Amino acid sequence: MSTAPWVIAAAEATRTGVAPFWGKAAFVGVFAALLVWLLLLPARLIDQQGVRRPWWRNARFWAVLVTIVQIGVYACWG
């Protein structure tokens, strides 16, 4: 299989400005999938003892917050 069609398609996408959109969409999509996974993850897999911790010591809270910030950064400035 020749790589020439792929190179031509990539050059055309770059010329028309479509490539940055799809790259941004791919990065945001990965972090959106991570966010869904973090929100649906059972609590017993995060804390084996089942103790309710305050929000500032909750690992899930901080993971969700960082993921939301990353989505914002890649969506705005990606």
> Domain range spanning residue 66?
17-77
What per-residue confidence (pLDDT) applies to 18?
63
Residue 12: inside a domain: no
Residue 52: inside a domain: yes
Helix residue spans in the chain (DSSP H): 4-16, 18-40, 43-46, 59-77
Number of domains in the chain: 1
Within the chain, which residues score under 50 in pLDDT? none
What per-residue confidence (pLDDT) applies to 4?
76
Residue 6: inside a domain: no
What per-residue confidence (pLDDT) applies to 24?
87
What per-residue confidence (pLDDT) applies to 33?
96
Residue 9: inside a domain: no
Dig out the tokens for 74 from the structure. Answer: 């890649």
What per-residue confidence (pLDDT) applies to 68?
97
On whether the CB atoms of residues 6 and 46 are closer than 8 A, the answer is no
Which candidate, 28, 36, 29, places its Cα nearest to that of 73?
Answer: 28
Which candidate, 1, 75, 8, places its Cα nearest to that of 35?
Answer: 75
What per-residue confidence (pLDDT) applies to 51?
77
